[in-house]
Structure formats: C-alpha cells, structure tokens
Structure 1
C-alpha cells in the first residue's frame, strides 16, 4: 500500500525502496493532519470571527496575525542551536505538533468559558504558545525532510498534504455556509478542539518516522555567537538572494486582509456571516493549486517562485486598480474571487520557498539556514504591521498596489537563484 501511494503520488515507477515508501507515507499522514488543523485555526478568519463573537476589543483581533506569524519565526535561531546538537530532529517536529494541539485545546476551553477582554487575553496567550511550538517544527522540518526523502518527492508530499488538508477545511467551510455548524462561539470552539486533536495525532505519527542520525559536528561552531549565527548570510550569496526573494513575496501572505478591507469599503460588504464564503474561496484555491505547485517545485523551485511572484503581482495590481476606480471590489463575492486568486499565488510562493530551502546546498547547516531565514522574515512580518497604518491613511487599494510591486520584485530577484534541483544538496 505504501509503495502504491508513493508511486501514484510522485509519478514514480514503484521501485523506490521500502524505506522511502514508509518515509513518504509518514510525512504525508502527519503533514495532512497538521495542515488540516492549521486551516481550522486560521487567525485571519476563524480566530478573528471567534474574538468578535466573544466581544473582545478590536485590538485583540488586530494582534492575531502578528502574534501568530512572528511568534512562529523569531524563536527559530535559538531553537536551531538545540536542533543542531541533536542527532534526531524528528522529536522537535513531533513535540511542536503536540504543543500546538494543547494550545488549540486551550483556545477551545477559553471560548467556552470566557468572554470579552479576558477571552481575548486567553486566546492570544494560547496563540503565542501555538506559534512557539510551530517554530520548533518549522526550524527542524527542512532538515528532517532533506535526510529522509529523496529529491523529486519533497515538494510533492507537502503539496499533496496541503491539498487534502484544504479539502477538509473546505468541508468545514461548507458546513459553516449552510449553517449546519452555527456561527456561535461554542460551535467554533468545537472546531478548534478538533484541530487540537489532529495536531496531537500528527505528532504521534511523525514520532514513528525512521530518521537516520544526523551529524552534530557543526553545532558548537555554527551557533557559537552572533557573528557565527550570521556567518552563512555573509558568505553565501544564494542564501541572501533567497531571503530577499522571500521578503518580497511576503506580500502574498499579507494581502488577503486588505482585499477584504477594500471589498467592504463600498458599504455592501463583509461581515461575520460571510466567514464561510471566504474560507470556501481560500480552501478551494489551495485544493486546486497545492499539488500542482508542489510538483512544479520538485522540478524547479526557482521557476515556481518566479511564477508565483508574477501571478501575485497581476492579481494584486488588478485588485488595486479596480479598488481605485470603483471604490471597492463588489462586496463579499468580489472579495472571495480575489482571495481565491491571491491564495493560489500564495500557495506557489510557499511551495517554492520550502522546496528551494530543502534542496539548496547548506553545507551541513540546514537547521541554521532555516532558522536564520525564518527569523529575518519574522522581523519583516512585524514591520509589515505598518501597512495597516498606511491603509488607514491612504486606503487599502494603495497598499495592494505596493504589494503588487513587491511581488513583481520577488519574481525578478528569483531569476538569479540557482536551479537547486539539478545540483547535489544536503
């Protein structure tokens, strides 16, 4: 069964080793459960709606994305030192997944028991814990992936898991849209509790991965001080270009709230009753694009990043132009259409950056490269909070125009990346 799964999903001939078959199945199962859980606890949509329903002040809603994104990225340099000293790194991902599950269960309990500002503080605290646990998984996963799965399958397993996870989220969105799942705090709490269980299951599955012991010789010298931490950034031009590409393509992650803001500016716009519609659009985009982007990134992560940047630039430029000319995007259905298109571009940027980092030459310091790039991106995302002030001053259409320029710049910078799938890596 594992051999058939591996052959069918990777386009292989079925002659991969049994170790590769088992590793692929383990990655696929754990990632699918984790991605489904993540979709059910989306801070941009689900948690925002929950806090509003609980009567939490708007400041808590505005803090959700910065806490989630920066909290998942900034701790990674510190965690990388620990990871580099460990011979088996799967335990960091497994423990991180279980920790996310505990945090999600804490959110569910908060939603059931508390209201107002107290509920806001409780959910933000749980989200901060979830983000730190996620950072452990993110800092360790590329290294584990590179040592347990062959090139040509790494983007595929992530893309396919993303697709199936999105199918599950789509099902929940349909139930929300037709009111089978009511838009009440208690019902949303049940959904978040389900996500918590899925994360714990994902951790248990990943703990069974047969991971070869890693070399730890670079641990002391690789993270022995601030200069050593940033040494790869000084000596590796490709790492600098990769980080610049990622920085410019964060526009694909930051754009959706401003699309929604612009769509609601006409007055016919967006409210909590449209949560199901927006989640449907986002999930459908992930379903139709994740696997395709994953397969393309296994062929060329460089071209994947370029195509995603061009697509994002086109979509966001169109949204900015329509918003400038009409004052909105046509309400909730216009927002859903642009969210759908922007999500497709985002999935391409995510697949390309993950596979590129997994396949690029890191000189035995994959965890350090991952943590360094993610920490820098965490700082950039915090600074990205300033776009909210720009939107207040000049309108969301201008912000989307800036994001379009950033995405186009990301595609241009990606031109100079190496074709890492055609070179030997670590």
Structure 2
C-alpha cells in the first residue's frame, strides 16, 4: 500500500523523487505521498459537494421551485461567502491553540454535510417564505462551518505538502471534480431533469460528499505544529489585525485579493443577463460550463501557480479586465441588434471564460498565501485576510447590487476598474 501510494503520487505530481521536499519538516516529508492522495480526495469531494449545493445555481432553483420570494435568493451568495470569511479572525485564534489542526476540517465538513441534509429535509416539508427563512438560517451555520475548514485546510496543506506541489494538488482536485460535474449535469441536460425531487437528491449527494471529505482528511498523518499565543484566542485575533499595518507584503496581498473580488461576484449578473434568452432547464448549461472550466483549467492554473503564483494573479487580473470590458460593450452596444440565440451563446462563452479566470484567481491567491508564510503565521494570514475580505465582500456586494438596479453596464465597468487597480497593486507583490 505504501509503495502504491508513492508510485501514484509520483505519477500525479510528476515527482522523480517522492521525498524531495521544500517548506516542510523532514518527518512530514516521509508522509507526503499518502497525505497528498488523502488531501486530493478530500478536496475533490469538497469541490463536488460545492457543485451539488451551489448557492449560485442549485439553491436558487430550490427556492424558486418551492415558491420562495426572490428576496431570499438575493441573500444566498453574500451569506455563503461572507459567513464563512468574517468569523475567521476569531476562529484562527482558536485553531492556533492546537498543535494538530486536521480535526477542525473534519468537524467543519461534518457540519456542512449536516446542514445540506437539513436543507434537503426542509425542502420536502416546507415551501414559500418558510423554506426561504429555513434555508437562510441553515446557510449561516453552513458558512461558519466552511470557514473552519478554510483555516484548517490551508494550515495542514502547508505543513504536509511541499511548496512546489501545492498548486498542482489543488489544480488536480478542481479538474477531477470538473469531470464528474460535467458527466452528471450533462446527463441531466439530456434527460431534462430539473425537478424539485432531483434538486433534493443533489443536496443529499453533497451531504455524502462532505462525509467522505471528513473521513479522508481525518486519515492525514499530521505532525504537531507551533502553538504560540495559545493563552487567549480572542486577544491573539485582535493582535493579528496589526499584520495589516506592519506587514507590507501581506497588506499588498489583501488589497489585491479585495480588488479581484469581481471575478467571483459577477457570475450571478451574467446569468441574470442571459435569463431572458433561455428557459429553466437552460440554467443547467451554466453548471456544465462551470464543471468544464474546472476540468480544462484547474491543473493548468495549479501548475502555473507552482512556478509563480504572482504571475497567475497578474494574468487573471488582466483577463478579468478584458472580459468585463467586453461584456459591458456587448450588453450596451451589440446585444439589442442580435437574436436571442446568439446573445445566449455569447453570455455562455463569457461565463465560461469567467469561470476559468476565477479558478485561476482562487488557485493563484491560495498558493501565494500558503507559500508566503510558515507555522502560526500562515494561520494568522489566512484568518485575518479572510475576515477582512468577508466584510469587504458584503460592502462590495451591496454596492454592486444597488448599481445593478440602476444600470447593469455600470456594474461590469466597476468590476473592470477594480481588476485594473488589482493589476497595478499586484506588480508590487514579491515572488514567494
């Protein structure tokens, strides 16, 4: 079994010497092949679960099918994203008190699976506003659990996987999940399965995927790490805010990450622009394109991030600028003169390109952050940056939402300007 794990690791990581390590201890180096596969399976399961419970597609379908007011649909993405990010400053102070941190990922995954299962049960028994409120409350607890996983996963990844293999691992999991998502959603499109019963089945499947992720991550061989500042988690959390003032490189990274938020926020707007040109079942196309984007770009971005995560950030910022500007031009100038079929194809293409770009943004910033620090400082970086981004995400989401009520083109221009600013600031980032 040991030999098989090592052989498979060498093939997946293109590693001639499976014990060649950088950025981790000698003891952890011996466990890299097995840990690589366990983390890969956990990330794959998590990404699959995220696809089956997507707040951009699946949950909106669920609420629409049950007759819930549109108000609740508008809350889904901000709650899911901000709810998992804002509490991380405090959660990071708690997690750092423990020498081993994989158990926090296990707990977080089990809680996410439980919330998904409760959403499925609620969909069977409730409808309308009652279901809307129930899903909203469950999503809050779901997001908090997701935040716990975020802190633990990056810390364990940094302790168990060499620097030059972290981006590849994340890219592989994204590509593998893309294949499965593509197969499932493609079959659904062919069978025209978009019923409420099927959506409930997707949530149950997501719950099982999080259970598998918890089991796989729990098997990781993690050695004890540093626990400095373990006396008072809340006090440590407040002190960590000083990183934004004293650490210039970290300050630059957080600024870039904040300015690139448009790559993740724009997806619902593109779907909204395409809605008049498609029917209910056509929404499956967007899910398929997300899976296809993960499949074709995940490993590419992962390999590129291992060579230079800074370059990935710069490249994806440039791509974001181009896509946002073209989308604004198309919506304002070209769309009125074209047929619905052509317009739909263009928006699907834009969504696909944005999905590829956002995958690069995520892998680039994740790899950069993990490589930028070691030990507890990595945990501090993750918790502080995620908390700040969570707050800014709410603000950015409210601003873009209000602008969308006035003019959709203005939102796209805002995202383009923000991405341009991100590119300028990213030039100051150092290679890690």
- Fold agreement, TM-score > 0.5: yes
8 A Cα contact 1:270 1:331, kept in partner: no
Other-structure match for 2:102:
90
- Which whole-Å CA distance do the structure 2 matches of 1:87 and 1:263 have between them? 49
Is it true that 1:332 corresponds to 2:332 in the alignment? no
Could you tell me how far 1:226 is from its partner in structure 2? 6.5
Aligned partners of 1:274 and 1:332 also within 8 Å: no
Contact 2:99 2:227 in 1 (8 A): yes
Query: Contact 1:49 / 1:275 at 8 angstroms: preserved in 2?
Result: no
Aligned-partner Cα distance in 2 for 1:364–1:114: 44
Structure 1 range deviating more: 14-23 or 377-386: 14-23
SS in 2 for 1:219: coil
Give the count of matched residue pairs. 415
Correspondence for 2:246: 235
Instruction: Give, in whole Å, the separation in 2 of the partners of 1:412 and 1:356.
Output: 17
2:14 corresponds to which residue?
11
1:222, CA displacement in angstroms? 7.7
How far apart are residue 377 of structure 1 and its match? 0.5
Change over 3 Å in CA distance of 1:245–1:222 after alignment to 2? farther
> Distance between the aligned counterparts of 2:116 and 2:274, measured in 1?
30
Equivalent pair of 2:117/2:207 in contact (CA under 8 Å): yes
- Would the alpha carbon gap of residues 58 and 222 (structure 1) be closer, same or farther in structure 2, given more than 3 Å must change? closer
The equivalent residue for 1:74 is 86
For residue 162 of structure 2, give the secondary structure of its aligned residue in structure 1.
coil
- Provide closer, same or farther for how the CA distance between residues 371 and 119 of structure 1 changes in structure 2, counting only shifts above 3 A: same
Q: 2:128 aligns with which of 100, 116, 132?
A: 116
Residue among 390, 398, 417 paired with 1:378: 390
SS of residue matched to 2:220: coil
Q: What is the aligned partner in structure 2 of residue 201 from structure 1?
A: 212
What is the aligned-residue RMSD (CA, Å)?
A: 1.7
Contact kept in structure 2, 1:108 and 1:192, CA below 8 Å: yes
Between the aligned partners of 1:150 and 1:207, the Cα distance in structure 2 is 20
The answer for unaligned runs of 5 or more in structure 2 is: 20-28
Gaps spanning 5+ residues in structure 1: where?
421-426
Q: Which residue of 2 aligns with 1:393?
A: 406
- In structure 2, distance between residues paired with 1:95 and 1:142: 15
Matches within 5 A, 1:305-344: 305-327=313-335, 330-344=342-356
For 1:272, the equivalent position in structure 2 comes to: 280
In structure 1, distance between residues paired with 2:237 and 2:155:
22
**How far does residue 363 in structure 1 lie from its aligned partner after superposition?**
7.0
> Which residues in structure 2 correspond to 1:41-60 (within 5 Å)?
41-60=53-72
Q: Cα offset for 1:374? A: 0.3
**Aligned partners of 1:360 and 1:219: how far apart in 2?**
22
SS of 1:153's partner is helix
C-alpha offsets along residues 172-197 of structure 1, whole Å, 9 cap, x if unaligned? 211221126x2111111011100100
Matches within 5 A, 1:20-419: 20-179=32-191, 182-220=193-231, 224=235, 227-264=238-275, 267=276, 269-327=277-335, 330-361=342-373, 364-385=376-397, 386-394=399-407, 396-419=408-431
Give TM-score, length-normalised by structure 2.
0.92
**1:129 Cα deviation (Å)?**
1.5
- Residues 137, 319 of structure 1: alpha-carbon distance in 2 compared, 3 angstrom cutoff: same
1:126 deviates by 1.8
Structure 1 residues 304-313 or 210-219, which shifts more?
210-219
Q: Quick one: distance in 2 between partners of 1:331 and 1:220?
A: 58
How far does the alpha carbon of each residue in 1:331-376 deviate from its partner, in whole angstroms, 9 at most, with x for none? 4322211110001110010001100110003574211110100011
Aligned with 1:96: secondary structure?
helix
Residues in 2 aligned to 1:284 and 1:24: alpha-carbon distance in whole angstroms: 24
- 8 Å contact from structure 1 (residues 302, 352) kept in 2: yes
